[in-house]
Amino acid sequence: MSTRRKFLAGSAIGAASTLAAPAVIAQQGPIKWRLQTYSGAPLGAHVIKPQIEAFNTAANGEMEIELYYADQLVPTGELFRALQNGTLDAVQSDEATMASPVDISVFGGYFPFATRYSLDVPALFTYYGLNEIWKEAYDEVDNVTWLSAGAWDPLHIFTKEPIRSLADMRGKRVFGVPTAGRFLSQYGLIPVTVPWDDVEVALQTGELDGVAWCGFTEAYEVGWADICNYALTNSVTGAWFGSYFANTASWDKVPPHLQELFKITIDQSHYYRATWYWGGEAKLRVEGEKMELTSLPPEEWAQVVADAETFWDSVADKGGRPAKVVEAFKTYAATMEKAGYPYR
pLDDT tens-digit map of 325-340: 999 999 999 999 999 9
* pLDDT-derived band at 28, boundaries 50, 70, 90: confident
Average pLDDT, stretch 277-287?
A: 95
pLDDT, one tens digit per residue, over 77-103 is: 999 999 999 999 999 999 999 999 999
pLDDT-derived band of residue 302, with 50, 70 and 90 as boundaries? very high
What tens digit of pLDDT does each residue of 178-215 get?
899 999 999 999 999 999 999 999 999 999 999 999 99
User: With contact defined as beta carbons under 8 Å apart, do 212 and 157 qualify?
Assistant: yes
pLDDT for 104: 97
Q: What's the average model confidence in pLDDT over 46-67? A: 98
More confident residue, 3 or 199: 199
Does residue 252 have a pLDDT over 70? Answer: yes
> What pLDDT does 15 receive?
39
Confidence band (pLDDT; 50, 70, 90) for 177?
A: confident
pLDDT tier, 34 (very low <50, low <70, confident <90, very high otherwise): very high
Domain annotation for the chain: domains and CATH numbers: 29-105+118-151+240-280 (3.40.190.170), 155-239+289-339 (3.40.190.170)
Q: Kindly tell me if the per-residue pLDDT of 10 is higher than 50.
A: no
When pLDDT is averaged across residues 216-234 and rounded to a whole number, the result is: 97
CA contacts within 13 A on the Cβ side of 171 = 5
Distance CA(76)–CA(124), nearest Å, equals 26
Strand pairing of 155-159 and 144-151?
unpaired
Q: Is 70 exceeded by the pLDDT of residue 26?
A: no
pTM for this prediction: 0.89
Tell me what the mean pLDDT of segment 152-169 comes to: 97
CB neighbourhood size of 77 (10 A): 14
242: exposed, middle or buried (Cβ count in 10 Å: 0-12, 13-18, 19+)? buried
pLDDT at 44 over 90: yes
Encode 89-110: b = buried (16+ Cβ within 10 Å), e = exposed: bbbbbbbbbbbbebbbbbbbbb
Please give the average per-residue pLDDT across 19-30, as a whole number. 53
CA distance 149 to 267: 9
pLDDT given at position 269 = 97
Q: Distance from CA of residue 14 to its chain's centroid?
A: 49
Rounded to whole angstroms, how far apart are CA atoms 144 and 130?
18
pLDDT score for 324: 98
Q: What is the pLDDT of residue 13?
A: 39
Report the pLDDT value the prediction gives residue 11, as an integer from 0 to 100: 41
Kindly report which listed range (25-29, 79-83, 295-299) carries the lowest average pLDDT score.
25-29
Measured between alpha carbons, how far is 253 from 293 in angstroms, rounded to an integer?
A: 50
Handedness of CA 253, 256, 259, 265 (dihedral sign): negative
| Residue pLDDT, tens place only, 99-142 | 999 999 999 999 999 999 999 999 999 999 999 999 999 999 99
**Through-space distance between the first and last CA atoms of the chain, rounded to whole angstroms:** 85
Quick one: which of 195, 169, 194, 196 has its CA closest to 184?
A: 169
What is the pLDDT averaged over residues 161-177?
96
Distance separating alpha carbons of residues 291 and 220, to the nearest angstrom: 10
- 210 CB-near residues (< 8 Å, 6+ apart): 157, 158, 159, 160, 172, 173, 174, 175, 203, 228
